[in-house]
């Protein structure tokens, strides 16, 4: 059969029926225009969805976020020369002895019957606390408990049927996830900023005794303290607590899991009771992992043992690597801290540790964490006739009784770092003047010569005490 052109078929249809079925205008337009939606429209739709998520989060949490305004009475400095200037100008005696200071912060409702969580530094020493809600209502608050170790506090207001915030599981927080910070920076009530979780498990900031922060680039400013850091489900992921330099985009929040434990104990018991086993620990770096026979594995390296603690009584030793607690894997050192913070005082726990490349199980019972921190050495020794440990920039001297007393080392022996050369391997390893080297390559150090012997091959594993803390350091020429 011969194929007929389309125009011929249409003409034939007109001859037979007297009409032609012409395509409609919409059909012609559909053939002429590209398919919709376009890539630009898809991108805009995604952005609008994200925008909607942020606004919904802010709205859903709004009734749980509060501004906190405080007043405190502080004694004025004595006038120059001790003259009572106030009396000269007709002021009553004692008028100028005290001054009233005002401060602001933020908080989040955690129980419907009037409990608000905030930072300790927001309400500490306050003579008057006022809680301001999103609807504009003001209620006087009373601080019912503070926790120095985490910088947390709970304030109680006389109210019922408040909207309590929902909390997320902060152990699932991941760098890169969206977060919203809500609070009252500079007294500007209910300010919303957006960012991401920049890092998890930040510690050793020197701000508090217990540190396990979420880091975020969501803008946090003075007055945001105590306010929530919220995920896109509207759940509190952390409590904003501090920044590193204003406008740097580096802020920190106390993770929700830790905050909830603290808040519950402050409300129910008036104080926080924490489990304690009496070990100091540090991060297990790749170099340290090689020395302790756990290369390629995670864990927390035990760097010191508190005398008469549960750890010492159970037989845990400095140099042990804790790889699990009650079967829960310890991937990084701060996992050990998190695991202990979740256990009650008096709990029976089982630690799996690696010692001399062999894994063993040690059982112990937790006790209550001591309230006071151990003292730290505040002075460094003056360089004397020091011994040079090779060409590593490390200068040592013997630990005399006088030097031990000056540095606060009791019942210890070893070699003291008298000085460290700038730019040397010793400085890069983190050694400092005043450090006490107790072991070199797992052998006790009685004199500087023992350290020099360990370093003859160009590398040594050093067990170092600095003040009341101890850690392992790998010193190498490389």
- Domain membership of residue 205 (yes or no) is yes
What's the pLDDT score for residue 301?
92
* Residue 30 banded pLDDT, cuts 50, 70, 90: low
What's the pLDDT score for residue 36?
56
Calculate what percentage of the chain has a pLDDT beyond 70: 79
Same structural domain, 456 and 391: yes
* Weakest-pLDDT range from 47-61, 74-88, 282-296, 339-353: 74-88
* Weakest-pLDDT range from 174-178, 378-382, 455-459: 378-382
212-236 mean pLDDT = 90
401-415 mean pLDDT = 76
Same structural domain, 249 and 280: no
Count the residues in the chain: 478
Q: pLDDT per residue over 33-46, tens digit each?
A: 555 567 777 777 77
CATH code (residue 451): 2.30.42.10
- Domain membership of residue 252 (yes or no) is yes
352-375 mean pLDDT = 80
* Structural domain span for residue 408: 387-476
CA 101 remoteness from chain centre: 29
Interstrand relation of 128-132 and 178-183 (parallel, antiparallel or unpaired): unpaired
pLDDT surpassing 70 at residue 305? yes
Place of tokens 């802020």: 251
* Secondary structure class of 220 (helix, strand, coil): coil
Same structural domain, 399 and 355: no
What's the pLDDT score for residue 323?
93
Higher pLDDT, 316 or 74: 316
* Residue 26 banded pLDDT, cuts 50, 70, 90: low
CATH code (residue 240): 2.40.10.10
- Domain membership of residue 138 (yes or no) is no
Number of domains in the chain: 3
- Domain membership of residue 64 (yes or no) is no
Q: Can you tell me the distance from the alpha carbon of 304 to that of 77, in angstroms, rounded to the nearest whole number? A: 44
Write phi, then psi, for 264 (nearest 5 degrees): -60, -40
- Domain membership of residue 464 (yes or no) is yes
Same structural domain, 200 and 218: yes
Q: Which residues are catalytic?
A: 121, 151, 225
Q: pLDDT per residue over 424-457, tens digit each?
A: 888 888 888 888 898 988 888 888 888 888 888 8
What's the pLDDT score for residue 371?
61
Q: Which of 269, 288, 303 is the last residue of a domain?
A: 269
Same structural domain, 354 and 395: no
Transcribe 316-373 into DSSP letters.
Answer: --TT-EEEEETTEE--SHHHHHHHHHTSPTT-EEEEEEEETTEEEEEEEE-EEPPSSP
* Residue 211 banded pLDDT, cuts 50, 70, 90: confident
Same structural domain, 318 and 364: yes
Same structural domain, 263 and 283: no
What's the pLDDT score for residue 77?
58
Q: Are 273 and 345 in contact (CB under 8 A)?
A: yes
Highest mean pLDDT out of 200-214, 264-278, 416-430: 264-278
Same structural domain, 400 and 350: no
* Weakest-pLDDT range from 49-53, 64-68, 119-123: 49-53
180: nearest Cα among 115, 240, 117: 240
| CA angle (397 as vertex; 392, 401 as ends), nearest 5 | 155
Higher pLDDT, 281 or 47: 281
What's the pLDDT score for residue 78?
52
Q: Are 255 and 238 in contact (CB under 8 A)?
A: yes
* Weakest-pLDDT range from 70-79, 186-195, 237-246, 346-355: 70-79
Higher pLDDT, 352 or 80: 352
194-203 mean pLDDT = 89
The per-type count for the chain, helices as H runs and strands as E runs, is: 12, 27
**Which stretch of DSSP H or E encloses residue 26?**
helix 25-32
451-472 mean pLDDT = 87
Same structural domain, 281 and 263: no
304-316 mean pLDDT = 91
* Residue 362 banded pLDDT, cuts 50, 70, 90: very high
Same structural domain, 408 and 470: yes
- Domain membership of residue 148 (yes or no) is no
Q: Which of 243, 269, 295 is the last residue of a domain?
A: 269
Higher pLDDT, 246 or 401: 401
CA 232 remoteness from chain centre: 20
- Domain membership of residue 178 (yes or no) is yes
- Domain membership of residue 306 (yes or no) is yes
Q: Are 266 and 117 in contact (CB under 8 A)?
A: no
Same structural domain, 347 and 396: no
Same structural domain, 438 and 412: yes
115-123 mean pLDDT = 94
Task: Say if residue 133 is exposed, middle or buried (CB neighbours under 10 Å; 0-12, 13-18, 19+).
Answer: buried
What's the pLDDT score for residue 72?
83
Q: Which of 217, 236, 269 is the last residue of a domain?
A: 269
Higher pLDDT, 47 or 276: 276
477: nearest Cα among 386, 391, 417: 391
What's the pLDDT score for residue 247?
65
404-427 mean pLDDT = 80
165: nearest Cα among 109, 240, 228, 232: 109
Q: Which residues of 378-413 are buried (b: 16+ CB within 10 A; e: fewer)?
A: eebbeeeebbebbebbbbbbbbeeebbeebbbeeee
464: nearest Cα among 198, 282, 254: 282
């Amino acid at each position: 059969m011969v194929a007929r052109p389309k125009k011929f078929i249409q003409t034939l249809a007109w001859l037979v029926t007297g009409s032609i079925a012409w395509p409609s205008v919409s059909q012609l337009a559909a053939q002429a225009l590209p398919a919709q939606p376009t890539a630009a429209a898809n991108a805009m739709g995604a952005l609008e969805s994200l925008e909607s998520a942020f606004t919904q989060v802010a709205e859903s949490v709004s009734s749980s976020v509060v501004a906190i305004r405080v007043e405190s009475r502080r004694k004025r400095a004595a006038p120059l020369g001790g003259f009572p200037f106030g009396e000269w100008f007709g002021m009553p005696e004692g008028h100028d002895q005290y001054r009233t200071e005002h401060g602001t912060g933020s908080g989040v409702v955690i129980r419907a019957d009037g409990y608000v969580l905030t930072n300790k530094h927001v309400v500490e020493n306050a003579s008057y606390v006022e809680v301001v809600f999103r609807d504009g209502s003001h209620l006087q608050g009373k601080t019912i408990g503070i926790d120095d170790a985490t910088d947390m506090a709970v304030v109680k207001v006389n109210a019922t049927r408040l909207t309590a915030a929902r909390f997320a599981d902060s152990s699932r927080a991941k760098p890169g996830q969206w977060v919203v910070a809500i609070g009252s920076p500079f007294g500007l009530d209910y300010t919303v900023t957006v960012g991401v979780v920049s890092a998890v498990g930040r510690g050793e900031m020197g701000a508090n005794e217990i540190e396990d922060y979420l880091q975020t680039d969501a803008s946090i400013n003075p007055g945001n303290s105590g306010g929530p850091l919220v995920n896109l489900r509207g759940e509190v992921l952390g409590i904003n607590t501090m920044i590193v330099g204003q406008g740097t985009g580096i802020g920190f929040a106390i993770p929700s899991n830790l905050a909830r434990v603290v808040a519950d104990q402050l409300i129910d018991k008036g104080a926080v009771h924490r489990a304690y086993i009496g070990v100091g620990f540090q991060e297990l770096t790749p170099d340290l992992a090689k020395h302790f026979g756990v290369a390629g594995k995670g864990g927390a390296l035990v760097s010191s043992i508190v005398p008469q603690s549960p750890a010492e009584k159970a037989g845990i030793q400095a140099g042990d690597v804790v790889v699990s607690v009650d079967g829960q894997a310890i991937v990084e050192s701060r996992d050990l801290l998190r695991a202990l913070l979740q256990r009650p005082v008096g709990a029976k726990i089982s630690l799996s540790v690696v010692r001399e490349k062999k894994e063993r199980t040690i059982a112990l019972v937790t006790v209550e964490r001591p309230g006071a921190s151990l003292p730290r050495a505040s002075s460094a020794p003056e360089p004397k006739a020091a011994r040079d440990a090779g060409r590593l920039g490390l200068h040592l001297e013997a630990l005399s009784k006088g030097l031990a007393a000056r540095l606060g080392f009791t019942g210890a022996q070893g070699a003291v770092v008298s000085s460290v050369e700038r730019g040397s391997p010793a400085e890069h390893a983190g050694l400092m003047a005043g450090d006490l080297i107790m072991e070199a390559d797992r052998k006790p150090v009685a004199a500087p010569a023992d350290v020099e012997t360990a370093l003859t091959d160009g590398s040594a594993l050093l067990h170092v005490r600095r003040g009341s803390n101890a850690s392992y350091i790998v010193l190498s020429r490389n």
